Amino acid sequence: MISEGVNIKKLDFGKGGGLIPVIAQDSQSNRVLMLAYTNKEALEKTLSTGLAHYWSRSRGRLWKKGETSGSTQRVRDILVDCDHDTLLFLVEQEGNVCHTGKPTCFHKNLRE
């Protein structure tokens, strides 16, 4: 279980106004899937369920990845950066991650 040994108190939620960026990466292919944000509530829900939960800045609420699309993320591990202010979710992605139907949110070149 991923929640074993996790100490949320070490995370720096203050720097981002209560939010921490989360990079979701496919645990098998290492492909970067998306960037989202978490707060304490969303992270606790992720830890308790094993499914990725994030804080939606646009909707102003907690959301489970895939709650409307069915494209869920089973979290296999969580890594924290050296400043304790960014997380990396290693996930098993079910379905496409992007709302456009693409397998990753990073599918456009900036030059396009």
pLDDT mean over 13-41 = 97
What residue type is assigned to position 34 of the chain? M
Q: Which DSSP symbol is given to 92?
A: E
**Is the CB of residue 75 less than 8 Å from the CB of residue 46?**
yes
Range(s) of the domain holding residue 37: 21-89
In a domain? residue 98: no
Q: Which of 43, 39, 52 is nearest to 94 (CA)?
A: 52
Whether 7 is covered by a domain: the verdict is no
Q: Which two tokens stand for residue 36?
A: 């989202």
In a domain, 16, yes or no: no
> Mean pLDDT throughout 6-23?
94
CATH number at residue 34: 3.10.20.810
**How far apart, in whole angstroms, are the C-alpha atoms of residue 19 and residue 12?**
9
Does some domain include residue 44?
yes
* pLDDT beyond 90 at 6: no
Report the number of distinct structural domains present in the chain.
1
pLDDT on residue 1: 63
Q: Which of the four pLDDT bands, split at 50, 70 and 90, describes residue 19?
A: very high
Rounded to two decimals, the pTM is 0.93
